[in-house]
Structure 1
């Protein structure tokens, strides 16, 4: 399967709010811990879903700063790492 682009760039959530997914993705891609992100929305729901791929080196550097010795796979499961927010 090959996905080349989205059918629609802007869509409306169930509560009537319009969302531009590429705008959200580009904002999150500015954060060094994120290598890739894909945002999905459905007009029948009031929320978005995102699949986020953390950058291995950046995540391991963050872990070292916080004295965590987990491997990359464990860090991806770590609640502290999963709850990181923009500063």
Structure 2
């Protein structure tokens, strides 16, 4: 659900073919933040919850990144007004 909301929010900021790499990058960033929250959490039960969230976001990001073409990744880092 969060990925759908994020894709709707950033679809006007990035080109359509760069949407998947942007979402995958966002998933990795949120997964790293969840792992950082797990590292800061002292309670064992909540630490496992944060680590599960971080692992699942990373796993979903890896699965989606398999579907990304290499040319789509390049469009994330090149300005749109320059020819390819």
**Please, what TM-score do these two structures have when normalized by structure 2?**
0.27
Q: Which has the higher contact order (CA 8 A, sep 6+)?
A: 2
Structure having the higher helix fraction is 2
Q: In proportion to residue count, which structure has more strand?
A: 1
Q: TM-score, normalised by structure 1?
A: 0.27
